[in-house]
Structure 1
Amino acid sequence: MEQYWCATLLIPKGVHKLITKFCRNFLWQPEDGKRKMIMKSWSSCCAPYQEGGYNIKEILSWNKCIICKWIWAIETKSESVWAAWNYKYNIKNEDFWAMEVKPHHSESWRSILLVKNELITRTGSIAEAKQVLFRSVQAGKLNLSLLYDYLRVPAVKISWAKGVWNTAVLPKHGFIMVLAVQGKLATVDKLNQKGQCIVNRCILCKKDNESHQHLFFKCSFASTVWIGVLQWLRMSYRTRNMRKELQWIARFQKRKHWKARLYSSSLAATVYCLWEERNCRLFREEEHSSEYILKRIQYVVSVRLLFVTNSRYKNEVVDYLQC
């Protein structure tokens, strides 16, 4: 139903805000309904994986892209009944690309003309607007995903996206991993910067102030977990910086070796489990040992890796994980 209306009419601003609110609350609103500190803007969430986002389609931009398929049908003089009817009763002898919205136009035709006018404005000319449509064609059909990428405003690409978003990393682990790398998790130091007066003390080691760097790398409890994970992976060096680790994994991903997926899955699972343990202690007053967390990481990573690994390499993966 949503796709039908998106392909027929421009969504009103009020409806667009309401849909965005529902989507945003789905991501950030806790189950108890209480307000929560949001550290990442919705526009950055809608960015592609390669730009540090979650690849969520921005509803209004996607709405306009879907309507562009009717513009494409008119431009290519489609043999459909819809195109023939509009040429006879709406366009008549006029130039479609020069048409303006008139009071007697229907709401659907008005939406098409408004999107057409915006496309011309954004590209700078009618000729360039047509070129954008033609560049978005694949196998004779308008590719809406390509058109969406052409029309949106791009951001700076990141070098570590493939280290997070691959088949071996669970989506919930990747979600938290992106926030951790970007420093967007609601750690105590961040909450204090937002004006909340909270005693800054790491709840895992109970020694130093809580920050992203401390919580995941400098904390003595986290260090114990990392040592166990690295020994399990047969890696001798110590992790120091999350972004550098991801960049190294992203470069390793180019080889398409199952070990690259193992490393990225282990890194994301460790970050997720440490953040989950922090929240369990803070909000539920439940405490688990580093051994328990390590076993949980090993189990989750092993099951996920075996699930996504090609059958030719499964025996090799099993032997590696069991040693």
Structure 2
Amino acid sequence: MVGRFPVRERLQKFQICQEMDCVVCGAGVENIQHLFFECLYSSRVLQEVKKWLQWRTPATSIRGLMSNIRHSKHNSFKKGVLIVTLAAMSYQIWLNRNEVLWQFRCKQAGSIVGALNHELNVKRRGNGGKFVLLVVIRV
């Protein structure tokens, strides 16, 4: 995320938008860090994703999550799955933000996981006590 999302903090700098409150929770300044990782809604989504993937990490920021992936003992495939899932999660949060802004509707945090499951078609299979994640990205 290179800081190019038209979040309210950035739009305010260009005098396009005067309000800076988060569209989703209304509790913080809508910037990239807040919208994707600090917002109460995004935090719930991340908790649901971690539970879905059985990913036990206390990290909640993009740097912390990426560091956790980089330093984990997972194989490169599973690391790739986690990175793709974070990207897809961010996209779903962005879609929800726009739906709140334009349609005044907010999805349940759990439904984001359902959308991710559909988007990524992630299947878990027991393999001698280990989980194997198979990912097919739908285009």
TM-score between the two structures when normalised by the length of structure 2:
0.76
The gaps in structure 2 that reach 5 residues or longer are 125-130, 135-139
TM alignment of 1:206-225, pairs within 5 A? 206-225=26-45
- The alignment covers a number of residue pairs equal to 127
Letter of the 2:132 partner, please give it.
Answer: E
The residue that corresponds to 2:112 in the other structure is: 293
Cα distance in structure 2, aligned partners of 1:247 and 1:182: 17
Deviation at 1:231, TM superposition (A): 1.1
Cα distance change on mapping 1:205 and 1:186 into 2, 3 Å: same
Q: For 1:237 and 1:250, how far apart are their aligned partners in 2?
A: 13
1:317 partner amino acid: L
Q: Secondary structure at the match of 1:317?
A: strand
Partner of 1:264: 83
Q: How far apart are the structure 2 equivalents of 1:195 and 1:221?
A: 27
Q: Per the alignment, do residues 317 and 294 of structure 1 end up closer, same or farther by CA in structure 2, a change over 3 Å counting?
A: closer
Cα deviations by residue, 1:44-74 (Å, 9 ceiling, x for unpaired): xxxxxxxxxxxxxxxxxxxxxxxxxxxxxxx
Hey, which of these two has a bigger chunk of strand by percent?
2
Match of 1:192 among 12, 18, 23: 12
The structure-2 alpha-carbon separation of the partners of 1:197 and 1:268, relative to structure 1 and needing over 3 Å to count, comes to: closer
Distance 1:299 1:203 in 2: 26
Q: Which structure 1 residue ranges, 5 or more long, are not aligned?
A: 1-180, 307-314, 319-323
Indicate the RMSD between aligned Cα atoms, in angstroms: 2.5
The answer (yes or no) to whether the contact 2:52–2:113 under 8 Å persists in 1 is no
Inter-partner Cα distance in structure 2 for 1:316 and 1:249? 16
Match of 1:277 in 2: 96
Pick closer, same or farther for the CA change 1:295–1:275 going to 2, 3 Å. same
Report if aligned partners of 2:59, 2:68 keep a CA contact under 8 Å in 1: no
Aligned-residue sequence identity (percent) comes to 24
Higher RCO (CA-CA < 8 Å; seq separation 6+): 2
Describe the superposition over 1:131-156 as per-residue Cα deviations: whole angstroms up to 9, x where unpaired: xxxxxxxxxxxxxxxxxxxxxxxxxx
The aligned residue for residue 78 of structure 1 is none
Contact 2:22 2:35 in 1 (8 A): yes
CA contact (8 A) 1:239 1:245 kept: yes
* TM-fit CA distance, 1:207: 1.7
- In 2, the alpha carbon distance for the partners of 1:237 and 1:247 equals 11
Deviations 1:100-120, CA, capped at 9 Å, x for gaps: xxxxxxxxxxxxxxxxxxxxx
Q: Is the 8 A contact 1:273 1:293 kept in 2?
A: yes
User: Is the 8 Å Cα contact of residues 8 and 17 (structure 2) preserved in structure 1?
Assistant: no
What does residue 230 of structure 1 align with? 50
- Quick one: distance in 2 between partners of 1:183 and 1:217? 14
Conserved in 2, the CA contact under 8 Å of 1:270 and 1:297?
yes
Distance in 1 separating the partners of 2:82 and 2:30: 26
Answer yes or no: is the 8 Å Cα contact 1:280–1:287 preserved in 2.
yes
User: Is contact 1:216–1:271 with CA below 8 Å preserved after alignment?
Assistant: yes
C-alpha contact 1:202 1:208 (8 A) present in aligned 2: yes
2:23 aligns with 203
Shift of 1:198: 2.3
- TM-score (structure 1 length as normaliser): 0.35
State the match for 2:127 in structure 1. none
> 1:74: which partner in 2?
none
